A and B are shown apart, each in its own frame.
Chain A
Amino acid sequence: MKRELITALSLTATVLVVAYISTLGGGLGPLFSDTRPLAKVFLSTTLDPNKPMFTAMSPEGVTAIVWDYRGLDTLFETAVFYLAIIGAVAVYRDVSEKVVLKGGGVGLSKIVKLVTKLLIPMNIAIAISIALHGHLTPGGGFQAGAAMAVVPMILIVVFSRYFLLEVKISKGLALALRSIGLIGIAFTVFLPIIIALISGVNSYIMQNQVKFGAPFSFPAFFGDSLISGSLILYNLFELLAVTFGFSILFLLLSIEESLVKEQMGGEGSEH
């Protein structure tokens, strides 16, 4: 009883102290007052054709920051995420997903299966919509990829992993499509430099709009529609890469433990 009282009191105290510091104490800067100077910079430049050297030509400040203002940071974050997936692939390198256990692959009831099937095209539509509007509304490539990765995930849960094998969604295919996504991102990163080299001007890596001394610029509009230059490309390729990055993990994690042990075995049983 005494112990629980102390726990409850200390938790309450922690919450109160953190709340005080972060709001009234001004630890994170004043709330309910003017926008902070750093935010003002981004808000006033993110979509302003009159400031061509500073703008990202996207009304979505977060995407503009993530893929333009501090794009390199995101690029390396992406690299870290894919290294983690490569790690998983390396751990499972000796395990074949093609092996089928006896009596496997029944799945859930007909009701769940049919409703799930109906959700798949809608899920695809929503995920791609999130990616295609990443430069306009909250969301973007990663969020879209996470939404899209729901498709293989629910297929594994509802139909079993053997269903994915039947429709030819394998680890190899997922790896290939993920690589296409990554190559697309890399291509978009280097495209300004390639074009600059050909046309004999300067440019920066990951450049989106015109910068001082570097006249290259991705088109901000397609017809009348705002596409925000490189941002839409990054979002689309990230969608591809994240979708299949997650798919690889789901495919690997759904392999039966007994199969994994059997195929990787040896060492564990000898000791």
Chain B
Amino acid sequence: MRLIKMVPVAALTFAVYIIFSGSVSTYDLILGSVVAVFSGYLTAELLISDSGKALSLRRFAWLVFYGIYYLTVAEFKAHVDVIKRIIHPKMPINPGIVRAPYNVGNDYSVVTVACSITNTPGTVVVHLDEGSKNYYVHWIDVKAPDPKTTYENIVKDFEKYVKKIFE
């Protein structure tokens, strides 16, 4: 069981080793594999709980898609919005900290959504309440503080894709 869990972690480690070493010589390919297996063995249990999910190609494809979508569409929209507010002579901001509910379960989903929210300009997750399943988000333009509005505006877009990747 641990052996299967090791695969994704070892692949990640191997990629990092080769990129960091900046070489694909036989020396590095062999030693990189050894290091990858070693590090995978040590950390697999810590990182992976469901090896089937971790090795699913469909989920991986969604991850790649989400990465591209996030870095182009989502980031672009958020940047345009914040740039508008910056160069507008009246600086139309209405900042505040709001409660935004989330509906994802596992750690990876919760963290990915939180990091996605934080990394887009205009919104920052300042606190995570796992008990009531809420993010506390600092929002540059609070449209309304009720959970429905915050969920629709802040969380929904990311959650849709993250569910397909990790849930």
Are both chains from one complex? yes
**The 4 A-B residue pairs with the shortest CB-CB distance in the complex, in nearest-first order:** A225-B27, A125-B17, A124-B39, A125-B16
Give CA–CA (A126, B22) in the complex, Å. 11
**Given A110-B128, A111-B125, CB of A128 within 8 Å of CB of B47:** no
Within 8 A of B (CB), among A218-263: 222-225, 227
Closest to B135 in A: A111
Contact B12 A122 (CB under 8 A): yes
Question: How close is A5's CB to chain B, nearest CB, in angstroms?
Answer: 41
B: contact size bracket: 20 to 34
**Given A120-B46, A122-B13, A124-B13, CB of A225 within 8 Å of CB of B36:** no
Contact A121 B111 (CB under 8 A): no
Contacts of A128 in B (CB 8 A): 17, 35, 38-39
Give 20 pairs: A residue, B residue, CB < 8 Å, sorted on A.
A110-B110, A110-B111, A111-B115, A111-B128, A117-B46, A118-B47, A120-B43, A121-B13, A121-B39, A121-B43, A122-B12, A124-B39, A124-B42, A125-B20, A125-B32, A125-B35, A128-B38, A129-B32, A132-B21, A133-B21
The count of chain A contact residues (Cβ–Cβ below 8 Å) is 23
Contacts of A114 in B (CB 8 A): 107-108, 111
Closest to A118 in B: B47
Residues of B within 8 A of A (CB): 9, 12-14, 16-17, 20-21, 25-27, 31-32, 35-36, 38-40, 42-43, 46-47, 107-108, 110-111, 114-115, 125, 127-128, 130
Residues of A within 8 A of B (CB): 109-111, 114-115, 117-118, 120-122, 124-126, 128-129, 132-133, 167, 222-225, 227
